[in-house]
Structure 1
Amino acid sequence: MTSSIAEIDSGRQGRGLSRGIILILAITSGLGVANLYYNQPLLADIGRAFSASPGEVGYVSMFTQVGYALGMLLFVPLGDIREKRSLISLLLVCVALSLVGFAESRSLGWMYFASFAIGFTTVVPQIIVPLAAQLAKPEERGKVIGTVMSGLLFGVLLARTVSGIVGDLLGWRSMYWIAAAFMLILALIMYRLLPASKPMVSAHYGELLRSMLQLVRKYATLREASLIGACMFGSFSVFWTSLTFFLEGPPYHYTSSIAGLFGLVGVTGAAGAPVVGRLADRVAPQRMIGVLVLLTLLSFVLFGLTGFSIAFLISGVVILDLGIQGTQVSNQARIYALDPAARSRINTVFMVSTFAGGSIGSTLGSFAWHTWGWTGVCLTGGGLVFAAFAVWSAHRLSSRKH
């Protein structure tokens, strides 16, 4: 990266964000990211439509998250060198076309391709989050990130509720036609509402991509946060990919719409993200991460020991989502402070790692369920959380030595 790359003052940085703008950014993030998760409560229905096994249909989630990771790697860094309003609107149109492709899938192979395309183009939230961090006052950055990330997680969780209900009433294909219409409407709204923004840096695209490797080598905190994010979101995907299959069997025998309603339960955990964000402005985020990782581990203990009790299953979902979301917000509060001129690239490294872990978690969740049942799912998810705690502990010990 050459010395010509420097942060450009937008004239607004440090003045903060109004509540209305923060809300718009949160809603946009939620509506955008929801596209990645409509499939999870519908996997059993999709599997029956194509006479596919749980393992085969589980690849639908995997390809979506692999596409998302690759899309973030290629598109999100553009947020540092391109005008964001046009970039966001164009990507929303592209994801609308991908959703239509999924709705019209006539084979699993085509569905895998459409799933990848949906993930590849659904990267708008990851352009919005560093934008919010850039415009927020330094002393409010954690709170703003927490609020926008709450909108994002609401989208993740409510997507399951909405798609489960729509899938039961209208069929799984209808959900994707509706989602495509939402994206086109959102593209128009964002183009009208978002102000034109100047690029943050001056650089060639290839130079920008190479600089991400330099950032990884330079910042140990970014390496730690990325590994923890991968493990934690992997555990999250293990659970949510397998939950539909678990709930449709004994003792519950729930339909896809009931399985989707568990997303509403998770919203309770997501609502705690702004609180975690405020704490991250006052308490050392690294210390909070250790506590939140252990909290997430507790959720898998509840799932494994008492998952056949609906009350404990619901309690575990709340704890899981609070732990995952809180860890992510705390990590982002740390890494966005590393290099203000490189926030989009830093966010790319972190989120690519996170969703690469998520794609692995989706595959492991389907495999664990097919091979070992619910106990295997809980051990697999809990194992990934324990790996995150090991990374956190190793970094903390290393920091003390230095």
Structure 2
Amino acid sequence: MTVQTPQPHTQPILPLSTLLLMATACGLCAGANYFNQPLLHSMAQSLQISDALASSTVTMAQVSYGLGLLFLVPLGDMLERRRLVLALMLLAACGMLASGISGLTGSFALLAGGTLMAGVFSVAAQVLVPMAATFAAPGASGRAVGLVMSGLLIGILASRSVAGILSELGGWSTVYWVGAACTALMAVLLSRALPRAAPTAPVSYGAVMQSLAVLVRQHPRLRSRALIGGLGFATVSVLFSTMALLLAGPQFRLSDMEIGLIGIAGIAGALMANVAGRMADKGLEQHTTLAGAVLLLLGWLALWLGGTSLWWFLAGMLVVDGALQALHISNQNVIYALAPEARSRINAVYMTTYFIGASIGSALGSWAWLGQGWTGTSIMGLVLGLATLAMVCRDRQLVHQKPSTR
């Protein structure tokens, strides 16, 4: 049975302009964690460190973001969310500023500190997404979440290319200066646009954290949907952890800039988030989820052929990315209805699983590439795609089961 989100008559409804601001803010926050990926060699040369040490900033960004998801996002259910979002965004901007300053001082320690700080506090994006669902017009929460998530996904996909372009214009630290300024400005704009959002769980932090395990135990579909998201993101992470190796290799010999531009093409797939949101509002989450899982497999078949054809690669990348958005938005629409009073905590559980899946997928993709090249990578993508489809089938079985109350 679907639980409808309560919509008090006095509750404000977010206009499109505010949703667009939220989408932009999500893109800035999430994209900041990917600025460093195309700049590692330049960082190493500028700071006079090894490539391996420069590469460690990628892990720092991922781990710190994961910690923020687990320990900060649940605060959205116990604190006033507007203030929480603004505080997190300003702190994330300070982290980016520290990373920018490290380029002037030549301090890797400052870069590492800035990367960790920006990563932890950039989870402001994951407080904004449940807010979009809470303050959406009746029957339009799927579209609201889809729009905000489109901004987040576009930010992730575009961040690498923007970082590369700004690095060529003004050095590798330029993107951090620009990112800090834009994030701070967006916080100011949101301070005027966002409504006050009173806490839904005015209890202690310890009680909120303990309730995460309770939510996982009580809601089988939170478990199944979190696993669908984690496995789906793992499948796509196999692609993004190895595509540069394929495209820069002897088969295609593309430059870093050309590879970045191909990554931007994935933005078209992010538009699927809006379509999935509209499907969810029509009660078609199950059909959208099944379609996403099937498209993951078809996309990887195209990517397999893409080992020798750039056109097949582009087609496969677009299909796989669109499939992930279909899964992700459908997942969020389902889990937010499970316990509307605990959306931030539910989002913390889901997104932590989501990014754990991404880390595992990246590791498996690298392992498969080292062992069998692109063929091995494609097989790994298909295996994870089949695991995603199996979990989708399991979730469909849970639809007609009553949630546990233990």
TM (norm. structure 2) is 0.87
Q: Give the corresponding residue for 2:337.
A: 337
User: CA contact under 8 A between 1:66 and 1:356: conserved in structure 2?
Assistant: no
Q: Distance in 1 between matches of 2:176 and 2:216?
A: 37
Q: Distance in 1 between matches of 2:250 and 2:44?
A: 19
Shift of 1:47: 6.5
Matching residue's letter, 1:90 = A
Q: Give the corresponding residue for 2:290.
A: 290
Compare 372-381 and 126-135 and name the one that shifted more. 372-381
Q: Distance in 1 between matches of 2:63 and 2:199?
A: 27
Q: Distance in 1 between matches of 2:109 and 2:245?
A: 22
Q: Distance in 2 between matches of 1:309 and 1:36?
A: 31
Match of 1:26 among 4, 23, 27: 23
Distance 1:63 1:294, change over 3 A: farther
Q: Percent identity?
A: 36
Q: Distance in 1 between matches of 2:39 and 2:245?
A: 10
SS at match of 1:167: helix
Distance 1:290 1:108, change over 3 A: farther
SS at match of 2:51: coil
User: CA contact under 8 A between 1:72 and 1:351: conserved in structure 2?
Assistant: yes
Q: Distance in 1 between matches of 2:191 and 2:270?
A: 28
Distance 1:8 1:387, change over 3 A: closer
SS at match of 1:337: helix
Q: Give the corresponding residue for 1:61.
A: 58
Q: Give the corresponding residue for 1:281.
A: 281
Q: Distance in 1 between matches of 2:86 and 2:153?
A: 21
Shift of 1:79: 1.0
Q: Distance in 1 between matches of 2:224 and 2:8?
A: 31
Shift of 1:8: 10
Distance 1:361 1:116, change over 3 A: farther
Q: Give the corresponding residue for 1:180.
A: 180
Q: Give the corresponding residue for 1:147.
A: 147
Matching residue's letter, 2:232 = M
Shift of 1:210: 0.8
Shift of 1:46: 5.0
1:147-166 pair list within 5 angstroms: 147-166=147-166
Instruction: Provide structure 1 residue ranges, at least 5 long, that are not aligned to the other structure.
Output: 1-6
User: CA contact under 8 A between 2:68 and 2:120: conserved in structure 1?
Assistant: yes
SS at match of 1:346: helix
User: CA contact under 8 A between 2:35 and 2:163: conserved in structure 1?
Assistant: yes
Q: Distance in 2 between matches of 1:90 and 1:147?
A: 23
Match of 2:75 among 59, 75, 78: 78
User: Does residue 38 of structure 1 match 2:35?
Assistant: yes
Compare 172-181 and 270-279 and name the one that shifted more. 172-181
Matching residue's letter, 1:344 = S
Shift of 1:330: 0.4
Q: Give the corresponding residue for 1:125.
A: 125
Distance 1:60 1:361, change over 3 A: farther
Query: 1:243-292 CA distances to partner (integer Å, 9 max, x unpaired)?
Result: 22332222332222222212321111111221111111224312321220
Shift of 1:325: 0.9
Q: Distance in 2 between matches of 1:203 and 1:352?
A: 22
1:216-365 pair list within 5 angstroms: 216-365=216-365
Shift of 1:102: 3.6
Shift of 1:382: 3.0
Distance 1:255 1:43, change over 3 A: farther
Query: 1:301-349 CA distances to partner (integer Å, 9 max, x unpaired)?
Result: 2222223312111111211111111110001111111111111111111
Compare 190-199 and 56-65 and name the one that shifted more. 56-65
User: CA contact under 8 A between 1:41 and 1:259: conserved in structure 2?
Assistant: no
Matching residue's letter, 1:216 = V
SS at match of 2:200: coil
User: CA contact under 8 A between 1:237 and 1:358: conserved in structure 2?
Assistant: yes
Q: Distance in 2 between matches of 1:112 and 1:376?
A: 34
Q: Give the corresponding residue for 1:52.
A: 51
Compare 26-35 and 194-203 and name the one that shifted more. 194-203
Compare 390-399 and 275-284 and name the one that shifted more. 390-399
Query: 1:356-393 CA distances to partner (integer Å, 9 max, x unpaired)?
Result: 21122233334444444333333333332222112222
User: CA contact under 8 A between 2:296 and 2:324: conserved in structure 1?
Assistant: yes
User: CA contact under 8 A between 2:142 and 2:278: conserved in structure 1?
Assistant: yes
Query: 1:168-226 CA distances to partner (integer Å, 9 max, x unpaired)?
Result: 44333322232222222223222233333322222111111111111100111100011
Query: 1:138-194 CA distances to partner (integer Å, 9 max, x unpaired)?
Result: 411111111111111111111122123223443333222322222222232222333
User: CA contact under 8 A between 1:212 and 1:349: conserved in structure 2?
Assistant: yes
User: CA contact under 8 A between 1:10 and 1:198: conserved in structure 2?
Assistant: no
Q: Distance in 1 between matches of 2:168 and 2:371?
A: 28
User: CA contact under 8 A between 2:25 and 2:183: conserved in structure 1?
Assistant: no
SS at match of 1:172: coil
Distance 1:211 1:285, change over 3 A: same
Matching residue's letter, 1:94 = L
Q: Distance in 1 between matches of 2:302 and 2:43?
A: 29
Shift of 1:63: 3.0
User: CA contact under 8 A between 1:61 and 1:241: conserved in structure 2?
Assistant: no
Q: Distance in 2 between matches of 1:321 and 1:344?
A: 25
Distance 1:10 1:76, change over 3 A: farther
User: Does residue 386 of structure 1 match 2:386?
Assistant: yes
Query: 1:54-81 CA distances to partner (integer Å, 9 max, x unpaired)?
Result: xx76654333222212101111111111
**RMSD of aligned residue pairs (Cα, Å):** 2.7
User: CA contact under 8 A between 1:166 and 1:172: conserved in structure 2?
Assistant: yes
Q: Give the corresponding residue for 1:4.
A: none
User: CA contact under 8 A between 2:234 and 2:358: conserved in structure 1?
Assistant: yes
SS at match of 2:86: helix
